[in-house]
Chain A
Amino acid sequence: MSEQMRRVAIDPVTRVEGHGKITLLQDADNRVHEARLHIVEFRGFEKFIQGRPYWEVSTFVQRLCGICPVSHHLAAAKAIDQLVGVEELTPSALKLRQLLHFGQTLQSHALHFFHLSSPDLLFGFGSDVAKRNIIGVIEKYPETAVKGVKLRKYGQQVIAAIAGKRVHGSAAIPGGMNKSLSREERNSLLADIKDIIAWSQDAVSLSEQIHMAHPENHDFGKLNTNFLGMIGPKGELELYHGGLRARAADGSTILDQFDYRGYQDIIREEVRSWSYMKFPYLSSLGKEKGWYRVGPLARVNNCDSISTPLAEAARKRFKAFANGAFVQDTLAYHWARMIEALHCAESIELLLGDEDISGDDLVVTGEKRDEGIGVIEAPRGTLFHHYKIDEEGMIRKANLIVSTTSNNQAMNESVRSVADQYIDGKEITEGLLNHLEVAVRAYDPCLSCATHAMGKMPLQVELVDADGRLVDRLTKGSDGRIERSM
């Protein structure tokens, strides 16, 4: 650290999950020069699945996450399909996987927006922490909160019908699926789908209205970045399988319809000493300019259309907001997220009406190979699973680039931008903490879900001057009270 820099550390004392820590590096003029969002959890899945059987992996790796386990399950399953030499699933297996993934994305998006982010957006970032949580939303906006809770519940019901459990079930097996949906299961889900679509439309309207009503937030954590995501053969929004498209901030195409099995030719990962999370970048642009954003904002910006009519109409309004250019507002992630939720709801209705999902032709076999790469659009962005196996079928090497990793640099940049805007001289304020959390949460709830799960995340903030002396310490206790302990 330069002698002209100060270090501000925001360090959660305890967290149930998603343990994050933020360090802000200030220069002599008290400007935030750099932000470091430390990911201090060590997951280690890439290492400890080595030596395990390949057919076990898709069930094993879903334990990476409790919010989007299906995405890990399916990304691994797609890689394993390649290991068993299967390029094309049966129509029944493919549609069941798509349906499972739509259910997953719907429930994750509903959780992200309603349970975790809507308290910030509805009450204001600096509002009373005791009320800034889903319980507070239920009290003040009961209709909105109930719709959000029911949207999530419905997504989980779709998952449970296919995978046997709402969280961490079993569904995909090498070359296919282990069960189809009965007529009764389909009819049971179809009974509620009209409401689900209507509530998803309401959610799009709500997120759009919130964004429009707060022009002061349009620049909140805003970045001009490249976008990476998967698209369908016609350039449409695609969440399960397609080619990769990367576009630069000016809308120009960096790559399109790229076969993701060649991802190592286009993406590199940089390791930095202060975080367990790597920093991916597009190798053609280099470390400085090659970083990119993934997830709903990237996908809705990147695609040329959405295949379902209501979501497509919403996408057009979204594009009109930036006059056809990319919407780069970081808080517009939530708006894009709800457009995708609507697309999921519409797609679930279509698939539930498709006879193929009750078919019994579920598995195909092929010639075994020693390498498989599976990529999927998880709720928070493009997710890469890459496995190599030995001749005995055991995992020899694994590489996972999870969605949050792809957004790593962007999260750091948004945090830096927000901190620079809101930090006040040499004093750390509660308002600053709240704003930093909101910036991170636009991308990912996993780092901060303990906050709004109870609204009581303990935080400690330390201010260290250029000489390494502790000059201020602010502690937010689990009861929500802020204490200055210097």
Chain B
Amino acid sequence: MSDTMKENNNTITIDGREIPFKEGQTIMDAALAADIYIPHLCHRPGLKPHGSCKLCTVEVNGRSASACTLPAAKGQEISNNTEALNGVRKTITQMLFVEGNHFCPACEKTGDCTLQAVAYHLDMLDGHFPQFYPRREVDASHPGIVLDRDRCIMCELCVRTSREMDGKDVFAITGRGIDAKLIVNSASGKLADTDITTDDLAAHICPVGAILIKEHGYEVPIGRRTFDLHTIAEPGVEPVILRKGKHADEH
């Protein structure tokens, strides 16, 4: 939180619980500060809000809004953990699964994957919709990083992290709607021709395993992965950025 933010006595109410917020905070910021979990995928504390995944949709005084983009304001009555909203969130999550190629059983991100953890949290038991099976390109040109677009959910965390935290501009989303895809800012379109390194935060920020460090799969045994030990809704799980080879219980 910025030093310029000033405390005030304003409060908002989420599912009947009154919590304080500071000037400049979004509903999501205030909720996370109060250890209230609002499901989300494209939000990450420290990055500019994006508002694209719509998983954090809440009802504010009866109207739908994205918790990650809407500023908290005095007197807001917010519904979050309701059957209706979680039903919509589950449908959104199912759509994310079928629009990509998410094969959890063999994916090296399984157990550490935010999308999978959100799906478990929402009691998602199947994809419900027919699979799209899109044909997407794997870019393994970089010596240390592999880009597997099959798993990309277009959250732009990598795009924003590269710009805002790494001071680079490695990733971008191009196209619209179902034709949207993750691209790389280099003349060849290959990751190898960018200035990304394995030390960049953007190489580790991906919540779903679309961007992975090469040659290091499955090093964390089952039982010690992040979501073997925690649920996505637990306070403090959110900011954990997993480094390859680190066991979740070593953080």
Contact = CB atoms under 8 A, between A and B. Distances in A.
Interface of A: 51-53, 55-56, 59-60, 63, 84, 163-165, 168-171, 173-174, 178-179, 392-394
A55 B106 contact: no
Given A53-B217, A392-B140, A393-B146, 15 more contacts: A51-B138, A53-B214, A56-B108, A56-B217, A60-B106, A63-B105, A164-B221, A165-B222, A170-B218, A173-B219, A178-B219, A179-B221, A392-B141, A393-B214, A394-B140
Nearest to A171: B221
Contacts of B215: 53, 55, 84, 174, 393
11 contacts: A53-B140, A53-B146, A55-B215, A59-B218, A60-B106, A84-B215, A169-B222, A171-B221, A179-B221, A393-B215, A394-B138
Contact of B140 (A59, A164, A393): A393
Contact of B222 (A60, A63, A164): A164
Contact of B221 (A53, A55, A170, A392): A170
A171 B141 CA distance: 28
B138 A178 contact: no
A84 B141 CA distance: 18
Contacts of A173: 217-219
Contacts of B219: 173, 178
B223 A164 contact: yes
Contacts of B108: 55-56, 59
Interface string B171-214: 00000000000000000000000000000000000000000001
A211 to B, nearest CB: 39
A63 B215 CA distance: 20
Contacts of B146: 53, 393
Interface residues of B, number: 18
Given A56-B108, A59-B106, A60-B106, A178 B141 contact: no
Interface string B86-112: 000000000000000000011010000
A88 to B, nearest CB: 19
Contacts of A53: 140, 146, 214-215, 217
A55 B141 CA distance: 16
A200 to B, nearest CB: 28
Contacts of A174: 215
B106 A178 contact: no
Contacts of B141: 392
A178 B220 contact: yes
A163 B222 contact: yes
A100 B141 CA distance: 35
B251 interface: no
Given A163-B222, A164-B223, A63 B106 contact: yes
Nearest to A169: B222
Nearest to B150: A52
Q: Shortest 5 CB-CB distances between A and B: which pairs? A: A164-B222, A392-B140, A179-B221, A60-B106, A55-B217
Contacts of A392: 140-141
B63 interface: no
B216 interface: yes
B216 A55 contact: yes
A393 B138 CA distance: 12
A170 B220 CA distance: 9
A80 to B, nearest CB: 10
B221 A178 contact: yes
A180 B217 CA distance: 17
Contacts of B216: 55
Contacts of A394: 138, 140
A392 B215 CA distance: 10
Interface-centre pick from B105, B108, B221 (highest chain A CB count, 10 A): B221
A393 B144 CA distance: 10
A56 to B, nearest CB: 5
B192 to A, nearest CB: 9
A60 B146 CA distance: 17
A168 B105 contact: yes
A397 B192 CA distance: 23
Nearest to A165: B222
Nearest to B143: A392
B101 to A, nearest CB: 11
Contacts of A164: 221-223
A59 B140 CA distance: 19
Contacts of B214: 53, 55, 393
A393 B147 CA distance: 13
Contacts of B224: 179
Contact of B217 (A59, A165, A168, A171): A59
Interface string B214-248: 11111111111000000000000000000000000
A395 to B, nearest CB: 11
Contacts of A170: 218, 221-222
Interface string B151-165: 000000000000000
Interface in B106-132: 106, 108
Contacts of A52: 138
B218 A178 contact: yes
A219 to B, nearest CB: 44
Nearest to A84: B215
B68 to A, nearest CB: 32
